[in-house]
Structure formats: C-alpha cells, structure tokens
C-alpha cells in the first residue's frame, strides 16, 4: 500500500491547490473561465504544456512503443516539437489579441462574430465537444491503470499474486491489486472534478504548473533507475537486437512509411483543441508566448524520449501483453525495479501527467456555459453568477460520464490509438476552419459549415469502419487486412486502426476539409464590410494590432 499512500498524498496536495485558487480568485465569469487573463510567462508556459500532456504522452506513447517500436518517437514527438510551437506563435498570439480586444473566451464566440453566424457556431460546438470527450476519458482510464498497477499485490517469490474471478461467465485468474481499476479511476475523477469545480482556470493552471514540474523530471529518473537495475542500457539493447522477436522494435520496421509521415498532420490538432485555444486567452501579455515557443520542443523531448525507450524495454521484460494491457508497461517496470516508496513517488509523477485532462473538462464546461447557456440568453436572464455555476454543474456531468465510459473501455482500447482515432484526427481536420477564419478574408460561415459536416461524417465513417473490422485486425508485425477487396488496397485494417491507401485517415480528412472550406466560401456571400473591417483593418499600427496578420509585439 506504500505507493498508493504516496499517490494519495499527492492527490491531496493537488486538491488543496485547487481550493486555494478558489479562495484567491474572484467570482466573475472571466476569472473562473480564463483566470482574469492574468497568467504570467512561467505559469503560462508550464500550464499550457501540461494541458497538452495527458495519459496519452506517458502511458499511451510507451504502450504503443511496446507494440510497434522505437519509431513511435518520430510519429508524434518529432512533428509536435516543430508544428505545435509554430501554431502557438502564429495562431495562439492572434487568438490572444482578438480575445483581449473583443472579449472572446472560446473559439465558437470568435467564429460567430467573425462570420456573423449563429447556429453554424452551435454545430461547431457540438462536434468539438463530442471529439473532446475521448480525451477526457483517456485521463480517467490512465488514472485507473496507474493506481491499479502501483498497488499490485506481490507474493513471496516477487511475482504478482493471482486470484480467480468470473469474467463473461468464465473462471479466469487475474492479478490482485489493493486498488482496482474502477476505484482508481473514481479517485482520479473525484479529485479532478473537485479542483476544477472550485478553482476554475486559475486552479487548473496552478495544478498544471505543479504537475508539469513533477512529471518533467520523471522520465530521466525512471529511465536511469530501471536501466541500472536491469544491468545497464547497453546490455538491454544488445539482448533485444539479438532476439528476432524484439529486434524489429529497435527500428521503424513495424511502421510503414506512408503511415509514419501522415502522423505529421496530427499536431495540427493544437490549432483547434478548445483547451489550448482557451488557455491562450489566459496570458497576461503576448510576450508570454516567447518562452513557450522556445521551451516547448525541449519539454516534449524530456517526456517522450524516455517513455518511448522504456516502452521498448518493457517488450523485452514483459512479452505477450495485449493492446489494452500494454498501457501500463512503465508502471510494471517501476514496481518491478524500484522499492515501494520510490515507485510511489514516480507513480505520483505519472499521475501528474495522467490528470492533465482537467483542462479538457474545464474547456468543455467553458464552451457550454459561453456558447450555449450564455449565447441563448441564459446570462441575460440569470446573470454572470448563474453562468459560472452552470459551468461547474457541467464539470460534474462531464466527469461522471467520462468515468462511466472509461469503465467499459478498460481492456478494449489502447490509450494512444483512442486519442489518435477520435480526438487528434478530428481536431486536425478542423484546422483549416481556424486558419481560414484568421487569415482568409473571403472565408464564410457556409464554408465553415461544409468543412465541419465533412469532418463529422468522416469521424462517423471512421468509427463504423474501425468497429466493424475489429475481427480482421492483424497483430503487430503481420500484413494489413484488406477491408473491401473490390476496392483493392485503398482501405486496409492495421493493428492500430483503419488506413486509407496506407495513410492515416487524417490525411484525406484534412484535404477534404480544405476543399469544402474553399468551395463553401466561394459559393456564398462574404461577411459584411463592417465585420471584415474589424478583423482585417486596411491600415495596421506600427507595433502590430489584434486584427493584424502577424503576432502582436511584446509591448502589447
């Protein structure tokens, strides 16, 4: 129980930070939802990075590396280290300026004002909300897996103890845990829900800052301790290279080239992630973006590199794990190669990354309170205080729903694949909508609607294709299965999901989104001259303005 006690102490500290932020904050909606737009550069940097590093980064990356090898680092970390800082520099600074000038808090508020649209904005809200839910579910699943793995009951022989349980009418042997997946997920859900409920954006930012400092140091420490206990990194790699079963994991052999390069589009999701966009509104000055752009790639390397390598090492230590089971391989390595107290401390660092889904929960609550409750007259009738409490009620609703869904997905989906299929791909495909709104004067609401409907239909088709082809999914290293033989190899099933002519579905989704955005805009009337003058002024001040096409100056 020692690791569990250490993690529970950590959770108590996190909960206190959220409640302390509640006591320090004001009761206004701007303070609750965007921390009064007052975050300093260091809190902004750490909170923004922590916001984007969830269970996907530590548990998901190591779980996929266990299945597919060291090339997983190139799939996401390399591209993210370049694309996301560029998005923050060119998109984040502009959103910050427009939000401060016109009072926007959410993306939909900006779209409605920019394109003079009402119900089109509601459609965008519905789609982005549905796509954000899987990201929240990932955090709940990660919390359950973490506490379960850290509290494994070990026998006198140093191996996990087993007990017999009935599953689907069959008697099976399962590992014993002091804290099971269901209880672990519930604990994380309650803690996150509590500090988001009370602290709002200020509490979430402070917690993310604390958590980011904690998990940034996790990778190097865990890597050093585990490799030392296993006899050294060189020896492990030599043994894996000599074994035909694990040698492919040390190269890009299990990741086809087309699939590898299509992952470059995934970081475009940062443009449309609601929690990233809302977090951009919280900076006190645009100069805060400078440190974020510079240090973001370094932070990504500190997290992803050790996690991916440890995932590959785990394939040598714990062979034969299935897709859902491989998400906790780092935790297995910790409990097997460190003492209980140290495993608890490092487990708390993993929990820090896992619990970064707090920002997604707050973003969803912010969107509902601003884009639905506030827009359709709730604030006008009941006041700002009611709008804040509506957001808090939505926090409870969303967290509860995510927990219940996470229970059903315990062993049925890998965290990495769940995020790529149903969160990152959809938001990346909506990136043309944001780019058109910010930089294409001729873009219209009908182009945005056409693009949004294309993404929604693509996500539905992808969901159906994935579920209907589960039975023919090959194992890692095996050839892809053709879904419709009459179409040739255009649609195939890989171990991770559906591919389109060898590429991830995100590629045709992004291209289709660009196409429909262009067609819909050219076939419809542009916004009024007055609206265009607000967002695209003919003359720009020498220091840059919120409506200019370039980032604002540091003085602003």
Identify any residues that bridge with 173 across adjacent strands, giving them in sequence order: 164
Over residues 77-110, the pLDDT tens digits come to 888 888 999 999 999 999 999 999 999 999 999 9
Over residues 387-404, the pLDDT tens digits come to 889 988 989 998 888 888
Angle, helix 506-522 to helix 445-468, in steps of 10 degrees: 150
Identify any residues that bridge with 270 across adjacent strands, giving them in sequence order: none
Q: Between these two residues, 267 and 420, which has the higher pLDDT value? A: 267
- d(C-alpha 286, C-alpha 177), whole Å: 48
Instruction: Identify the helix (H) or strand (E) that includes residue 167.
Output: strand 162-167
From the list 533, 340, 445, 432, the residue with the least C-alpha distance to 112 is: 445
- d(C-alpha 205, C-alpha 37), whole Å: 12
Angle, helix 181-216 to helix 2-24, in steps of 10 degrees: 70
Average pLDDT value for residue range 470-492? 83
Q: Are 473 and 545 in contact (CB under 8 A)?
A: no
Average pLDDT value for residue range 374-382? 88
From the list 114, 136, 111, 105, the residue with the least C-alpha distance to 123 is: 111
Assign 484 to helix, strand or coil: coil
Q: What is the pLDDT of residue 32?
A: 87
Mean pLDDT over all residues of the chain? 83
Looking at the predicted structure, is the pLDDT value of residue 550 above 90?
no
What one-character DSSP code corresponds to residue 479?
A: P
CATH number of the domain at 2-152+183-408+415-431, out of 3.40.630.10, 1.20.1730.10, 3.40.50.620, 3.40.50.11030?
1.20.1730.10
Average pLDDT value for residue range 471-498? 83
Over residues 408-442, the pLDDT tens digits come to 765 555 555 656 666 788 899 999 999 999 999 99
DSSP letters spanning 25-93: S-SSHHHHHHGGG-B-HHHHHHHHHHHH-SHIIIIIHHHHHHHH-TTHHIIIIIHHHHHHHHHIIIIIH
Domain regions of the chain by residue span: 2-152+183-408+415-431
Q: Are 112 and 375 in contact (CB under 8 A)?
A: yes
Lowest mean pLDDT among 132-146, 204-218, 225-239, 370-384: 132-146
Over residues 160-206, the pLDDT tens digits come to 676 666 666 666 666 776 777 888 888 888 888 888 888 889 888 88
Q: What percent of the chain has pLDDT above 90?
A: 24
Over residues 123-170, the pLDDT tens digits come to 999 999 888 887 788 777 777 777 787 777 766 666 667 666 666 666
- d(C-alpha 370, C-alpha 391), whole Å: 9
pTM of this prediction? 0.83
Q: What is the pLDDT of residue 58?
A: 76
Banded model confidence at residue 63, pLDDT cuts 50, 70, 90: confident
Average pLDDT value for residue range 307-334? 83
């Amino acid at each position: 129980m020692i690791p569990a006690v250490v993690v529970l102490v950590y959770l108590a500290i996190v909960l206190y930070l959220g409640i302390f932020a509640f006591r320090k904050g004001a009761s206004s909606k701007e303070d609750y939802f965007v921390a009064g737009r007052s975050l300093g550069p260091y809190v902004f940097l750490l909170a923004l990075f922590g916001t984007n590093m969830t269970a996907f980064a530590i548990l998901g990356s190591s779980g996929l590396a266990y299945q597919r090898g060291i090339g997983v680092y190139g799939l996401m970390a390399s591209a993210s280290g370049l694309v996301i800082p560029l998005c923050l520099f060119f998109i984040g600074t502009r959103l910050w300026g427009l939000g401060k000038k016109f009072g926007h808090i959410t993306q939909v508020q900006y779209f409605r004002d920019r394109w003079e649209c009402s119900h089109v904005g509601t459609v965008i809200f519905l789609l982005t909300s549905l796509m954000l839910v899987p990201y929240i579910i990932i955090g709940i699943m990660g919390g359950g897996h973490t506490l379960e793995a850290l509290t494994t009951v070990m026998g006198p022989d140093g191996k996990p103890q087993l007990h017999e349980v009935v599953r689907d009418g069959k008697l099976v042997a399962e590992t014993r845990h002091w804290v099971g997946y269901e209880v672990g997920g519930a604990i994380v859900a309650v803690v996150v829900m509590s500090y988001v409920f009370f602290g709002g954006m200020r509490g979430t930012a402070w917690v993310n800052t604390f958590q980011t400092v904690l998990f940034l140091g996790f990778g190097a420490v865990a890597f050093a301790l585990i490799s030392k206990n296993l006899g050294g990194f060189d020896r492990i790699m030599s043994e894996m290279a000599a074994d035909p079963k694990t040698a492919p994991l040390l190269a890009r052999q299990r990741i086809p080239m087309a699939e590898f390069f299509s992952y470059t589009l995934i970081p475009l999701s940062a443009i449309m992630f609601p929690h990233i966009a809302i977090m951009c509104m919280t900076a006190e000055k645009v100069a805060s973006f400078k440190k974020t752009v510079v240090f973001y790639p370094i932070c990504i390397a500190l997290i992803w590199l050790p996690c991916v390598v440890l995932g590959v090492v785990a394939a040598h230590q714990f062979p034969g794990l299935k897709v859902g089971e491989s998400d906790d391989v780092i935790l297995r390595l910790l409990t097997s190669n460190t003492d209980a107290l140290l495993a608890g401390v490092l487990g708390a660092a993993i929990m820090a990354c896992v619990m970064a889904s707090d920002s997604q929960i707050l973003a969803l609550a912010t969107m509902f309170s601003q884009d639905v409750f506030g827009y359709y007259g709730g604030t006008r009738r009941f006041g700002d205080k009611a709008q804040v409490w509506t957001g808090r009620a939505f926090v409870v609703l969303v967290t509860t729903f995510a927990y219940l869904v996470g229970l059903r997905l315990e062993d049925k989906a890998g965290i990495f694949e769940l995020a790529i299929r149903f969160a990152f791909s959809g938001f990346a495909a909506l990136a043309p909508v944001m780019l058109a709104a910010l930089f294409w004067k001729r873009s219209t609401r009908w182009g945005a609607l056409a693009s949004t409907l294309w993404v929604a239909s693509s996500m539905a088709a992808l969901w159906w294709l994935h579920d209907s082809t589960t039975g023919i999914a090959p194992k890692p290293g095996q050839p892809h299965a053709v879904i419709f033989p009459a179409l040739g190899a255009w649609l195939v099933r890989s171990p991770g999901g559906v591919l389109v002519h060898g590429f991830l579905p995100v590629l045709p989704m992004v291209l289709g989104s660009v196409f429909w955005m262009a067609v819909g805009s050219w076939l419809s009337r542009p916004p009024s001259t007055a609206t265009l003058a607000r967002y695209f002024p003919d003359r720009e001040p020498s220091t840059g303005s919120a409506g200019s096409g370039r980032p604002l100056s540091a003085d602003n």
